[in-house]
Amino acid sequence: MRLTKSILILCAISALACEASVLGQNDTTAAKSRLTVGGYGEAVFSRHFYSDNVFRYSHADRYKDAPAYSRLDLPHAVIMLGYDFGHGWSIGTEIEFEHGGIEAAVEKETEETGEFEQEIERGGEVALEQFWVQKSFGKAFNIRAGHIVVPVGMTNANHLPTQFFGLYRPEGENTIMPCTWHETGVSLWGKAGSWRYEVQLLPALNSNLFNDAGWVHNGSASPYEFRPANSLAGAARVDWTGVQGLRLSVSGYIGNTFNNDITTTVYPETSRYYGATGTLLIGCFDFAYKNRWLTVRGNMDYGHLGDASLISTRNKNQTTMTGNPYPHTAVGESAWDAAIEAGVNVLAWSKTTAKLYLFGRYDHYDSFVPAEGWTDVEWAERQVVSAGVNYYPLPEIAIKAEGGVRLLASQYNNEPYFALGITWAGFFKK
């Protein structure tokens, strides 16, 4: 009797243990199903059939027959992690290694005398491109706070390497604006029918970091362990997808950029800088259309910088003491870019899931439209014409080849190039 009772007790305990184990497995499975793991990256070989000397614009005749040079590069290697906690709460992160290392480099400075300088784009050893917490109240209204991507322009909102044809991100937007532009701030976004909207509150750009070659591109950088935020800015984007395969988008940015640095200066009424704000306005339109045969993308961007003449004077007069992270060039009162790319999938007629695009791209931009009284930097207006092949054996992987030429004003030498590489973007688990 006692033996039978003991056996029954053991069986009951075993059953409870098995049930607990199954429940534990189910809980673990449920937890894992909330985890998203992904990433993207590129590996690129490029051959440049022009001089990379820092004086190639100021003394173009000397470098007309310069030898070609080659580079191997890892433009981006990114790990993406996300987790859904439930009840509308989730997090997202994007950790980026640019060019295979940290965001620090030694460069030859074209706008100065060709000297070697240490460049620090952002304090820290890796680039944390996204790190946010989100509360969702439904499709139409979500709040996201933390480090977020600023979706101004086509490329910032669509920066994965499978979302453009070239080996590198489109040159015009990548030159005149931060790209990929990421800031610490707050975002409100949502979807309603064919519409998606997003509105953001962010720290403004820093006019001390503006220059002639890249307009406001470096303005979101910070060589410090924090981001100065003496002035705040706003950004917004609206997408419409009411026709199958078509997306139309408008986006913009506004913020005061002057005196938004590690130290602020109180200028007296007698100072030329009294009342300067450096208000920056950017407006963008972009579109994309895709069907089985054809993919077309394009964008138009225009930006205006208030007090550009004063900012140019201040930047050129900044201290040249050792360790100063700022450029010493003028900045344009405005900048603009217009671009279009189109690709035809020559495998669309077949039953294969692979895609082979023959594409062409044209980009025309100017990073320096001078303020009154300042001399134009004529090499800052550039046109880029390119064509190539994108082969997608899978939707997440693209093997790319591209040849093109950068066209400059007639007194300069044009800059032909060829690039070959492999790119990928996708999720391991979602």
Amino acid identity, position 402: E
* Among the listed residues 329, 331, 338, the one whose alpha carbon sits nearest the alpha carbon of residue 306: 331
Contact in structure between 220 and 178 (CB atoms under 8 Å): yes
DSSP code for 101 = B
- 17 or 112, which is more confident? 112
Within 13 Å and on the Cβ side, how many CA atoms surround 28?
6
Phi/psi of residue 310, nearest 5 degrees: -65, -40
pLDDT band, residue 221 (cuts 50/70/90): confident
How much of the chain, in percent, has pLDDT values that exceed 90? 73
Where do the domains of the chain lie?
34-429
pLDDT tens digits, 100-159: 766 566 665 555 556 666 666 654 457 888 999 999 999 999 999 999 999 999 999 999
Residue 190 burial (10 A CB sphere; 0-12, 13-18, 19+): middle
Helix (H) / strand (E) element for 9: namely: helix 2-33
| 193-202, 311-320, 419-428: least confident range | 311-320
Tokens of 30: 């449920």
pLDDT band, residue 327 (cuts 50/70/90): confident
Report the alpha-carbon distance of residue 35 to residue 90 in Å, rounded. Answer: 10
pLDDT at 14: 41
Contact in structure between 102 and 223 (CB atoms under 8 Å): no
Tokens of 262: 């590690």
pLDDT at 227 over 90: no
Residue 235 burial (10 A CB sphere; 0-12, 13-18, 19+): buried
The answer to pTM > 0.85 is yes
Alpha helices in 114-273 (DSSP H): 154-157, 171-176
pLDDT at 2 over 80: no
Residue 32: C-alpha distances to residues 35, 37, 39, 133, 135 (Å): 5, 10, 18, 19, 20
pLDDT at 354: 96
pLDDT at 269: 87
Mean pLDDT of the residues in the chain: 88
Tokens of 333: 């009162």
Contact in structure between 149 and 155 (CB atoms under 8 Å): no
Tokens of 8: 């029954």
The neighbouring-strand residues paired with 86 are 89
| 25-29, 191-195, 322-326: least confident range | 25-29
Report the alpha-carbon distance of residue 42 to residue 62 in Å, rounded. Answer: 34
Contact in structure between 237 and 198 (CB atoms under 8 Å): yes
| 24-33, 159-168, 322-331: least confident range | 24-33
pLDDT at 222: 83
pLDDT tens digits, 42-93: 999 999 999 999 899 989 999 998 999 999 999 999 999 999 999 999 999 9
| 204-218, 261-275, 287-301: least confident range | 261-275
**Rounded mean pLDDT, 388-406:** 97
Listed as own residue / partner, the contacts of 78-83 with beta carbons closer than 8 Å and 24 or more positions apart are 78/39, 78/40, 78/41, 78/129, 79/39, 80/36, 80/37, 80/38, 80/39, 80/40, 80/130, 80/427, 81/35, 81/36, 81/37, 82/35, 82/36, 82/37, 83/34, 83/35, 83/36
The CATH superfamily label for domain 34-429 reads Porin (2.40.160.10)
pLDDT at 299: 98
pLDDT tens digits, 231-280: 999 999 999 999 999 999 999 999 999 999 887 788 888 899 999 999 99
**Rounded mean pLDDT, 374-399:** 96
